[in-house]
Amino acid sequence: MRYSGERSGEPQDGVSVTRATSARAEGRIRGRKVGAAIAVHNGRDVLERCLRAGAGQWSVACVLDDGSTDGTAELLAREFPEVIRVAGDGNQWWTGGTNRAIEACLLAGCDDVLLLNPDVVVLPGAVEALVEAAEREPGCVMASLVLDLDRPSRVWWAGSRFGPLVPGLPVLASRYLYPAGTPADALPEAPYATDEAHGRAVLVPARVFRQHGLFDEGTFPHYGADVDFSMRLRRAGVGIRVVPAARVLLSTSTSGMAPGSGGLRARSKKLRRYLREQRHGDAARVWWELLRRHAPAWALLPSYAFILGLNSARILGLRRSSRDPEAP
């Protein structure tokens, strides 16, 4: 099966690439050229915060601006002329946009690509910690520890496992290695294995993309592509690690994982969107495709029912979110 983006390094339809005209020496992180790949649509303010926080931590930033109308292009030209801007046509969504940004990094000759959502704040030394960990385990993917922007000493995401929920039960699901709200200092100091990594400052060697392809934007245009990519790498024997010394902040109040609020009608509307709409989760289709591709046949239907049922209960407010730091 060919995944979209396997023609790494070639511009795709609907995008154009603009390299800054101002000359700037491209620094290297521990001798490696690191490119930050960022996809954004009408996220000028968070993008500016992201780029300023990470300034000097990567060699080059490649931003896919997917038809933004909020002045993102003008911000980049005025404040960040060294950034490589890839202009999208407004139809790239997260997966296509991220693929285009990755391709720009590969065209720029990067040794590693830092997958970076624009709402992430990269703390000082984070990228160097990722590169240092990658030097010790060549070929592995290195993910940052994600902390709560409002409670920066507390974990938001620190790795996960995908597998049987209970031994002997035909249900597979993702489970967090450390609950949200865990003190960051309680985590191990050394990098440790995770089954999944997402777009919040994850360092991927360029050769991993060349050998295994990019994200599958055909099947997962907006949600699920990062999980699918992680599972593909896991099946191919590529290690994924969480690096506790590499820390980033995330504004959790804007996360799509926030539990349901408001009246029953509002929560029911949110649930319908989560299940059916591409912008809000497309969960009924996305989870079916993920499990069909990565779960054994005997676990497909039970796992699908369990995952959708659990998330639906959370959105309806019938179950406290596992990400809630106050949850038991």
Give a yes or no: residue 285 inside a domain: yes
pLDDT digits (tens, 9 = 90+) for 243-300: 999 999 998 765 544 555 568 888 899 999 999 988 888 999 999 999 999 999 999 9
97 and 243 in a single domain? The answer is yes
244 and 274 in a single domain? The answer is no
What's CA 237's distance to the chain center, in Å?
20
User: Using an 8 Å Cβ cutoff, are 170 and 306 in contact?
Assistant: no
Phi and psi at residue 147, to the nearest 5°? -110, 155
238 and 306 in a single domain? The answer is no
Question: 236, 254, 272: which is the final residue of a domain?
Answer: 254
276 and 232 in a single domain? The answer is no
Q: Give the whole-angstrom CA distance, residue 235 versus residue 296.
A: 13
Question: 221, 236, 254: which is the final residue of a domain?
Answer: 254
Give a yes or no: residue 178 inside a domain: yes
111 and 226 in a single domain? The answer is yes
The pLDDT, as a whole number, for residue 327 is: 33
From residue 40, how far is each of 50, 90, 252 by CA, in Å?
Answer: 11, 10, 18
62 and 80 in a single domain? The answer is yes
What lies within 8 Å, CB to CB, of 278 at 6+ separation is 93, 221, 222, 223
Give a yes or no: residue 1 inside a domain: no
User: Using an 8 Å Cβ cutoff, are 276 and 174 in contact?
Assistant: no
Domain count, the chain: 2
Q: Token match 């490589």: residue?
A: 84
Give a yes or no: residue 241 inside a domain: yes
The pLDDT, as a whole number, for residue 259 is: 52
Q: Give the whole-angstrom CA distance, residue 136 versus residue 91.
A: 39
The pLDDT, as a whole number, for residue 1 is: 27
Residues 213, 214, 220, 225: what is their CA dihedral angle, to the nearest 10 degrees?
110
From residue 306, how far is each of 206, 284, 287, 300, 303 by CA, in Å?
Answer: 36, 12, 11, 10, 5
Give a yes or no: residue 322 inside a domain: no
The pLDDT, as a whole number, for residue 318 is: 76
149 and 110 in a single domain? The answer is yes
100 and 247 in a single domain? The answer is yes
Show the domain range for 109: 16-254
Find, among 63, 222, 206, 137, the residue nearest to 214 by Cα.
206
Q: Where are the beta strands (DSSP E) in the chain?
A: 16-18, 34-40, 60-66, 84-88, 112-116, 120-122, 141-148, 151-157, 160-164, 172-176, 192-193, 200-205, 240-250
36 and 119 in a single domain? The answer is yes
Give a yes or no: residue 24 inside a domain: yes
- CB burial readout 281-318, b (16+ within 10 A) else e: bbbebbbbebbebbbeeebbebbbebbbeebbbbbebe
Give a yes or no: residue 76 inside a domain: yes
298 and 172 in a single domain? The answer is no
Give a yes or no: residue 324 inside a domain: no
From residue 173, how far is each of 57, 169, 286 by CA, in Å?
Answer: 35, 11, 14
Q: Is the dihedral of CA 216, 218, 222, 224 positive or negative?
A: negative
185 and 310 in a single domain? The answer is no
Q: Give the whole-angstrom CA distance, residue 29 versus residue 169.
A: 46
- Bridge partners (DSSP) of residue 204 are 113
Residues 130, 136, 140, 141: what is their CA dihedral angle, to the nearest 10 degrees?
-10
The stretches in the chain having pLDDT less than 50 are 1-11, 17-25, 256-257, 322-328
126 and 247 in a single domain? The answer is yes
The pLDDT, as a whole number, for residue 22 is: 30
Q: Identify the CATH number of the domain in which residue 196 sits.
A: 3.90.550.60
Question: 254, 276, 299: which is the final residue of a domain?
Answer: 254
